[in-house]
């Protein structure tokens, strides 16, 4: 029996001869909000992409609901559907309306029929405050609105977990708040979330647990109050001194 939604064991990732992830062990419970912080180039994006199987682990296990999804015999697409991913660049389909962006995957994968998908999409747009933009095209929206659409699109597949890779880093400062608010609401509703971000205020308020990654390893982890107020490791202290 596996009590975690996600359990990562001894995860290594090489690009050529460069070892980018150097043996990660991470457990995530259902409903947990885990924020990962760390310097640029430390492997945070690679970690998220490996969890989502956009990258193949070189070594180690990634258990999702008890199944090792790093195993060759596993259906990658079936598992990826259970993980919604939101990137720094919103990656919306430019030639489709907002509603079409949301309903495409659920219909294409056979998860919902058209009517169900449109109904779900409409509910989600309401939830992210964009009900009036259903027929708009992505280009006509602000960055903050596009990112909220991207979040809604990921939610349209009813994922078990949401992965966020610096979702507010490409936004103008005045739009960061509206995206973080949507994420905070999701967290309150009990969504399991793994979030890479430089928004330390958000991490303090919303995270159940903060992981500090540097140079391919988890240097330190803890409750936000402990990690931010009383970091134990020198590397964590130095990083926080720069960003706080
Ligand atoms: P972070 O998200 O923490 O900034 P990344 O996971 O993007 O870090 O990158 C970690 C390291 O892996 C960097 O040195 C980066 O250059 C390297 N890297 C990332 N993706 C690839 C790739 N597809 N091929 C080769 N090297 C890569
Ligand atoms: Mg990154």
ipTM comes to 0.98
Whole-angstrom Cα distance, residue 80 to residue 84?
Answer: 8
Of the pLDDT bands very low, low, confident and very high (cuts 50, 70, 90), residue 16 is: very high
**Residue range 135-162: average pLDDT?**
98
Q: Which of 43, 167, 196 for mutating ligand 1's site (highest number of atoms within 8 Å of CB)?
A: 43
Strands of the chain (E only): list them: 6-15, 18-28, 33-37, 59-64, 67-68, 83-86, 161-165, 192-196, 209-214, 217-222
pLDDT of residue 28: 97
Shortest CA distance to 102 belongs to which of 139, 39, 52, 152?
152
Q: Is the pLDDT of residue 2 over 70?
A: no
- Distance (angstroms) between ligand 1 centre and the Cα of 69 equals 22
Instruction: Answer whether residue 76 shows pLDDT above 90.
Output: no
Atom of ligand 1 lying closest to residue 216 CA? 10
**Phi–psi pair at 198, nearest 5 degrees:** -105, 5
Please report the sign of the dihedral spanned by the C-alpha atoms of residue 121, residue 124, residue 125, residue 126: positive
DSSP-derived secondary structure letter, 107: H
**Which listed ligand is nearest to 13 at the C-alpha?**
1
> What is the pLDDT, as a whole number, of residue 33?
98
Structure tokens at 200: 């330390």
pLDDT of amino acid 72: 87
- Assess whether pLDDT exceeds 90 at residue 92: yes
φ, ψ for residue 137, nearest 5 deg: -100, 145
- Token output for 9: 């064991």
Residue 54 Cα, ligand 2 centroid: separation in angstroms? 14
Number of the ligand 1 atom closest to the C-alpha atom of 40 = 4
Distance CA 146, CA 102 (A): 12
Side-chain-side CA neighbours of 179 within 13 Å: the count stands at 30
Contacts with 162 (C-beta within 8 Å, 6 or more apart), sequence order: 83, 84, 85, 86, 151, 154, 155, 186, 191, 192, 193, 194
Question: Does the CA dihedral 130-132-137-143 come out positive or negative?
Answer: negative
Q: Which atom of ligand 1 is nearest to the CA of 47?
A: 6
């Amino acid at each position: 029996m596996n009590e975690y939604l996600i359990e990562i064991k001894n995860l290594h990732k090489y690009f050529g001869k460069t070892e980018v992830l150097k043996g990660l062990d991470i457990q995530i419970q259902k409903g947990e909000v885990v924020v990962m912080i760390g310097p640029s180039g430390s492997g945070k994006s690679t970690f998220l992409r490996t969890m989502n199987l956009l990258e193949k682990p070189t070594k180690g296990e990634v258990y999702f609901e008890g199944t090792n999804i790093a195993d060759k015999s596993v259906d990658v697409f079936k598992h990826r559907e259970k993980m919604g991913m939101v990137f720094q660049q919103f990656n919306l389909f430019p030639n489709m309306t907002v509603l079409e962006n949301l309903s495409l995957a659920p219909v294409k994968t056979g998860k919902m029929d058209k009517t169900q998908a449109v109904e779900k999409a409409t509910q989600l747009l309401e939830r992210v405050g964009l009900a009036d933009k259903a027929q708009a095209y992505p280009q006509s929206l602000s960055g903050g609105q596009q990112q909220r659409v991207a979040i809604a699109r990921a939610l349209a597949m009813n994922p078990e977990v949401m992965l966020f890779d610096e979702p507010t880093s490409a936004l103008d400062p005045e739009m960061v708040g509206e995206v973080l608010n949507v994420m905070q609401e999701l967290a309150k509703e009990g969504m399991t979330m793994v979030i890479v971000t430089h928004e330390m205020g958000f991490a303090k308020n919303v995270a159940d647990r903060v992981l500090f990654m540097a140079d391919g390893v988890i240097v330190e982890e803890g409750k936000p109050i402990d990690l931010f107020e009383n970091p134990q490791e020198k590397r964590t202290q130095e990083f926080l001194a720069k960003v706080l």
